[in-house]
Amino acid sequence: MPEPKIWQLAAGSAVLGLALATGAVTAAGPWDSGQRKAERARAAAADHRGGAHHAAAPAPAAPHHPAPAPSAAGVLRALGAPGTTGATGTTDTPGTTRTGDPTAPARPVDLAAVLVPLLADPGLGPLRTASVVDATTGRRLYGEGDTTPMTPASTVKIATAAAALSALGPDHRIGTTTVATTDGRTVTLVGGGDPTLDKTRLKALADATARALKTRRPTPGPVRLTYDTGLYRGPALHPIGPNENLAPLSALTTDEGRLDGSHSGPAPRTTDPAGDTATTFAALLRTAGVTVQGTPTPGRAPQGAQAAPLARTDSAPLADLVERTLTHSDNDLAEALARQTALAHRKPAGADGAAQAVHAELARLGLPLAGTRFADGSGLDRRDRVTAALLTGILTRAADPAHPALRPVLTGLPVGGFSGTLAGRFGTDTTARGAGVVRAKTGTLTGVNTLAGTVVTADGRLLAFAFLAGRTTSPDTAQPALDRLSAALAPAR
């Protein structure tokens, strides 16, 4: 078929992700070991038609929808196109499948006939919505209540990640710095909101700080150490309260406040991430030859003429952080990304500022936001509301060559049966066809189970899908039902 190969490439990164995962995802994760780099290399060599460059002219936009971004207008226009209702199960353009003869042309598949029985699975509870979109053309293939706001659980991280990438760019880094008073007697450790700061980088920062102090004062005396967490606003505790899924929200933390040496998943957390980080930093300064008086205390960094910048350590690029956030459903990083988006919009780095900034950034991308609410960045807050159409719209934007900054939203998605939060799924007879082909963000709260991502058809087209279920009785029945839905979009083996 004449559709461009760049969409096969996004699918190809699913195969790439499979290869990475079979080698066992290390603590560094696939965001460091080449998912995005290899995908970029393929993109550079691919035919760059598709998205804004596809030949088919989409139907006119319905007047109640926001003006679509020029690069992927079809995804919004199709929501109100003739032959679709938006709230009922309909299919606009069927998928395709192959006959037994590999040389035979693809034949249409009625997605409604395939998906409706699977959506009726009792394991999905009484509330379920669905959206399937052709990411090449932005055309809506199937929708069931796809404009109905639902509690998304962790699939809201797709929105958080896209907003951060759009606002800041994939090369943005989060810095942690040290500043001294001009007399060099007080050093302040300033948190920039990087939850990935680890003890190795903290030691490097302490060493660089010690060298800078010696340069400024050849015979330095003792210093006081303070630490500044003023970048973040609002309460430190997430509305869920103390929880092993998220450390207290602080602009200064080490290893996400984890106390067990883990790198992902639930873990015991410190109740004082900033204080613990500052105490460790003081010990590292002493090892580097700086005499630190007393124990570190909270304080504000000196400003302007009273400040002498000393040293800085930066996080990995935002693209890497997004991939880590999505692959392992990292709540701490998701909240940090939301607050970085708030800062980019010059809003207070708290829950309210982050919600406003994420909403504004997605609106700037021309996405359907009616009924949405971003109560947090991680999806742990049950007050979050998104629609299936919004999630597939974001995924389609991320697949659009006109929005290369958003590509890590796709490359960071876990690979079915192989990586991240999908590593233990797609292993049954009814879901195995999705293994290595389905890439999706999971979402799980008590009574809420969701799945949103991409899958490749038999003819190499990339589809974006979102399935949201509410009032489910058990993840043990809801998750397999969601896996069967997404696997049904994958080629038969």
Residue matched to tokens 């971004």: 69
Instruction: Tell me how long the chain is.
Output: 493
- Amino acid 14 reads A
CA distance 248 to 271: 7
Nearest to 462 by CA among 18, 7, 97, 2: 7
CA distance 49 to 405: 17
CA distance 88 to 45: 40
Q: Virtual CA dihedral for 468, 474, 478, 479, nearest 10 degrees?
A: 100
Q: What angle do CA 483, 156, 65 make, to 5 degrees?
A: 100
The DSSP 8-state label assigned to residue 232 in this structure reads: B
37 catalytic residue (yes or no)? no
Nearest to 360 by CA among 163, 76, 168: 163
157 catalytic residue (yes or no)? yes
CA 371 to chain centre: 21
Residue matched to tokens 């999505």: 326
486 catalytic residue (yes or no)? no
Output the CA–CA distances (angstroms, integers) from residue 181 to 206, 311, 339, 427, 448, in the order listed: 16, 13, 28, 59, 51
CA distance 222 to 389: 59
Name the packing angle between helices 6-22 and 35-45 (round to 10°): 150
Element (H, E) at 462: strand 462-470
Q: Which residues of 185-219 are buried (b: 16+ CB within 10 A; e: fewer)?
A: ebbbbbbbbbbbbeeebbbebbbbbbebbeeeeee
What lies within 8 Å, CB to CB, of 324 at 6+ separation is 29, 31, 196, 330, 333, 412
Element (H, E) at 365: none
Tokens of 361: 């950034």
Tokens of 133: 């979109």
Choosing from 131, 154, 378, 486, the catalytic residue is: 154
CA distance 370 to 241: 29
CA distance 315 to 432: 37
Choosing from 13, 250, 329, 419, the catalytic residue is: 329
CA 308 to chain centre: 36
Choosing from 13, 157, 203, 486, the catalytic residue is: 157
Query: How does DSSP assign 79-142, residue by residue?
Result: GGSTT--SSS-EESS-EEE--SSTTSPPEEE-HHHHHHHHHT-GGG-SEEEEEEEETTTTEEEE
Tokens of 110: 């009625």
Query: Could you give the residue numbers annotated as active site?
Result: 154, 157, 329
